[in-house]
């Protein structure tokens, strides 16, 4: 696949060929397996650089929890941890570029990868970041809303008290049930509009609306396979949070690299 965008500024007007609707392919469970294998190979090819992105994400998560404790926002810890993986696709932009260059056999170092990431703020990726953070904000807001409606009479001054209220009272069970349903819906929406859109914006000249629509088409035409991929990502990311977020050092890079390869299998090259 030929990339025309890495580290460059997009033209003011796209050519008719670039505006053409991308062709969406059928993907199978075999494509997921192959993508994971390719993602693991990319991780092994540049383990320290790949692990850096996972470490950065893990440190950010640790700091997020620390700030919530410091501010006394105990009720925010669980929704923040659960919603934290929602912003992972945007954090993986550098990993997509690494996989692209590894696949093409192009040499690269820290400057090339970080330059490409920095340039994304001038392109459509910035709008995708806004979409991602907006949905994360909606997730946090709805948790606060249901907390006020369902647990209005509950009181907790520490994290242990909050856990007891949520997991060992009828009101807490209702809160978990409602929050899980709403969270699953928001996660499905965000996954559907970003899973292909993020690597696509890095790979070719297009606008973020077209990229999101292409991502939706891939999910709608391959619902079982893509929902399986979503489940793999969700379970892996959540399990990675258990050991103080440190599992993300390995899982985030592998999943990020794998997402790039799955994107290439799901969407035909721009010149086809």
Beta bridge partners of 120: none
Show the CA angle centred on residue 220, arms to residues 132 and 180, nearest 5°.
Answer: 50
The enclosing H or E element of 265 equals: helix 248-266
Q: What is the pLDDT of residues 157-171, one digit of tens each?
A: 666 777 777 888 888
Position 129 scores a pLDDT of: 76
Nearest by Cα to 196 from 171, 168, 220: 220
Measured N-to-C along each axis, helices 29-45 and 93-104 cross at an angle, to the nearest 10 degrees, of 90
Count of beta carbons in the 10 Å neighbourhood of residue 259: 26
In the predicted model, what is the mean pLDDT of the chain? 82
Per-domain residue ranges of the chain: 24-266
Torsion of CA 51, 57, 58, 62, to 10 degrees: 160
Retrieve residue 116's tokens.
């490409």
Q: How far apart are CA 138 and CA 168, in angstroms?
A: 26
Q: Is the pLDDT of residue 83 over 80?
A: no
Greatest mean pLDDT among 56-70, 116-130, 216-230: 216-230
Over residues 171-204, the pLDDT tens digits come to 888 888 888 888 888 888 888 998 999 899 888 8
Q: What is the pLDDT of residues 1-34, one digit of tens each?
A: 444 444 444 444 444 444 567 899 999 999 999 9
- Count helices and strands in the chain by DSSP H and E runs: 14, 0
Residue 86: predicted pLDDT: 67
Q: How confident is the model at residue 272 (pLDDT cuts 50, 70, 90)?
A: low
Confidence of residue 123 (pLDDT cuts 50, 70, 90): low
Quote the pLDDT of residue 264: 94
Residue 2 neighbours by CB distance under 10 Å: 9
Per-residue confidence (pLDDT) for residue 181, from 0 to 100:
85
What residues contact residue 192 under an 8 Å CB cut-off, 6+ apart? 215, 216, 219, 226
Q: What is the pTM of this model?
A: 0.81
Of 46-55, 123-132, 259-268, the least confident: 123-132
């Amino acid at each position: 696949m030929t990339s025309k965008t890495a580290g460059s500024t997009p033209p003011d007007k796209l050519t008719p060929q670039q505006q053409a609707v991308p062709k969406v392919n059928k993907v199978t469970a075999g494509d997921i397996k192959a993508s994971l294998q390719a993602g693991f190979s990319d991780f092994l090819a540049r383990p320290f650089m790949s692990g850096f992105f996972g470490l950065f994400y893990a440190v950010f998560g640790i700091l997020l929890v620390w700030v919530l404790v410091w501010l006394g926002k105990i009720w925010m810890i669980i929704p923040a941890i659960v919603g934290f993986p929602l912003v992972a696709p945007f954090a993986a932009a550098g990993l997509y570029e690494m996989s692209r260059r590894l696949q093409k056999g192009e040499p690269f170092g820290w400057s090339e990868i970080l330059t490409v990431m920095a340039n994304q703020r001038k392109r459509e990726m910035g709008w995708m970041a806004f979409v991602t953070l907006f949905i994360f904000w909606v997730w946090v807001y709805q948790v606060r809303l249901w907390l006020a409606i369902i647990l209005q009479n509950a009181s907790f001054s520490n994290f242990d008290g909050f856990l007891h209220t949520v997991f060992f009272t009828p009101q807490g069970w209702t809160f978990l049930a409602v929050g899980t349903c709403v969270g699953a819906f928001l996660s499905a929406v965000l996954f559907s509009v970003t899973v292909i859109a993020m690597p696509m914006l890095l790979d070719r000249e297009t606008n973020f609306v077209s990229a999101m629509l292409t991502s939706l088409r891939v999910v709608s035409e391959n619902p079982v396979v893509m929902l399986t991929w979503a489940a793999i990502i969700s379970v892996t990311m959540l399990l990675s949070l258990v050991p103080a977020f440190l599992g993300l050092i390995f899982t985030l890079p592998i999943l990020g690299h794998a997402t790039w390869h799955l994107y290439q299998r799901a969407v035909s090259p721009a010149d086809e």
